[in-house]
Amino acid sequence: MKRLHFSKHLAKYNCKLIREGGNHSIFINPANNKVSSVPRHKEIRNNICRKICKDLEIPSPF
């Protein structure tokens, strides 16, 4: 999945970008204070997207 599409999916569920790191972006779900890192690649594998959604406790885009 493209990183831009995945970021829009996270924003749809009110996840906020905390900070940009060298290799990862850190997102938080303010509803439950869950935090996860998103790799800064153009393409993110589907299983990693599912893991991030599970960490943030939001529905997977797949």
Q: What is the pTM of this model?
A: 0.89
In the chain, % of residues over pLDDT 70: 100
**Domains contained in the chain, CATH given:** 3-56 (3.30.920)
Instruction: Give per-residue pLDDT as tens, 15-37.
Output: 999 999 889 999 999 999 999 99
**Contacts within 8 Å (CB) and 24+ apart, 45-53:** 45/1, 46/1, 49/1, 49/6, 52/6, 52/10, 52/27, 53/9
Residue 7's pLDDT band (cuts 50, 70, 90): very high
